[in-house]
Structure formats: C-alpha cells, structure tokens
Amino acid sequence: MKKATKQSSRLLKLIILALFGTISMVLMFLNFPLPFLPPYLKIDFSDVPALIAGILFTPIAGVAVEGIKNLLYLIYTGAGDPIGVIANFTAGTLFVLPVAIIYHRMKSAKNLLTGLIVGTVAMAFGMGILNYLVILPAYSLFMGWESMSSTVKLSTVMVGILPFNLIKGIIVAMLFIPLFSKLKPWLDRKRLSFQT
C-alpha cells in the first residue's frame, strides 16, 4: 500500500513538473524588449514556474522545468536556433538553482530574497562569461558570420548581456516575491502532502 502511494506521489510530481514546463514554454512567447537594450534580448516570465517547482520540490525539479520548457520550445519552433535554446536553459538554471538551494537551507522570506539576489548575480555574470567565451563565438559559427573580435564580444556583453540579465533577474524577483507570499500557504500544504 505504501509503495503504491509512493508511486502515485512520484507520478503526480512528474505530471506537475510537465505542467509547469508547459506553462513556462507558453510564458516564453509573452515577451517584451527593453527600449535601451538590443531588441533580440527580451524579458519574459518563463522562469517563474521553474522557481515554484524548485521551491515546492527540490532545486533539481526547477532545473527539470527549465529543461522541459526549452525542449518543448525547440519542438514547437523547430531547430532554427538551438544555441538560443541552450543559452536560455543555461540562464534559467543559473537563476533558479541558487534560489532553490538557498531557500531549502532554511525556508524563510529572508532566504528567498537572498536566493533571488544570488540567482540574479549568478545569471548575469555567468551568462556574461559564457557569452564571451562560448555563446557569441558559437552564434558566429552557426550563422556563418565572421569571427567576432574580443572588443566586439566584450562590448556586447557589457552593454547588452550583463545589464539585460541583471534587469531580468530584478523584474522576475519583483514579480515572484508577492506571488510567492500569496502561494506560500498552498506550497507549504503541498510540500507536506508530498512528504507523507
């Protein structure tokens, strides 16, 4: 009986993660550019369901939602921009993982805020470094452009990638904090139901 309950609980978790991943993918399409940054950098709220999953279950559950979201997006849009999809997954993971890890140490509002700050900084600087070293050169190769000079890569990171990810993290955090305070009683009840 206990084994059957455990299996149904695991199945329910997988269904919830798949649902969160699908909601995340839909939220990717509801995006908007910032007027002072390059138009290809767009803000969306697709990391919010991954944050909820990471807090409700485990940090890895948040990463799983990021993976499902990007896989569904790739299937839906075709493989036109696999580098962008990989970059989106990496950025989401760099953001969600620290938030969930820090929050699970001690489930408090202070830890959530600390996690959101650390996640924003990790995403901004992590994506800055990865764009400079890997993503921008890969885009150049994929699109058949001339290899980018170090100066062009650095200016793209400093003027576009770094401020964009900082602003995105701040905007998502500002949306997530009030949403989380509304959802917290429900999340606590659900977490207890999954632990029993």
pLDDT band of residue 24 (cuts 50, 70, 90) is: very high
Taking the alpha carbons at both ends of the chain, their separation in whole angstroms is 13
How high is the pLDDT of residue 195? 60
What is the C-alpha to C-alpha distance for residues 61 and 55, in angstroms, rounded to an integer? Answer: 9
E strands, the chain, where? 32-33, 42-43
Q: Please, which contacts does 179-184 make with residues 24 or more away whose CB atoms are closer than 8 Å? A: 179/48, 180/51, 180/52, 180/55, 180/112, 181/109, 183/52
Quote the pTM value. Answer: 0.88
**What's the pLDDT tens digit per position in 92-141?**
999 999 999 999 998 888 999 999 999 999 999 999 999 999 988 888 88
How high is the pLDDT of residue 83? 86
Average pLDDT in the chain: 88
Which CATH number goes with the domain that contains 92? 1.10.1760.20
Q: How many CB atoms lie within 10 A of CB 143?
A: 9
Number of domains in the chain: 1
Q: How many CB atoms lie within 10 A of CB 30?
A: 11
**What's the pLDDT tens digit per position in 46-73?**
999 999 999 989 999 999 999 999 999 9
Give the percent of the chain with pLDDT over 90.
59
pLDDT above 80 for 90: yes
Domain span holding position 96: 2-31+43-195
Kindly state whether residue 175 falls inside one of the protein's structural domains.
yes
pLDDT band of residue 23 (cuts 50, 70, 90) is: very high
Residue tagged 């997530």 (tokens): 176
**Range with the poorest average pLDDT among 44-48, 147-151, 166-170:** 147-151
pLDDT above 70 for 147: yes
Kindly state whether residue 133 falls inside one of the protein's structural domains.
yes
Kindly state whether residue 38 falls inside one of the protein's structural domains.
no
Six token digits for residue 52: 């909820």
Kindly state whether residue 37 falls inside one of the protein's structural domains.
no
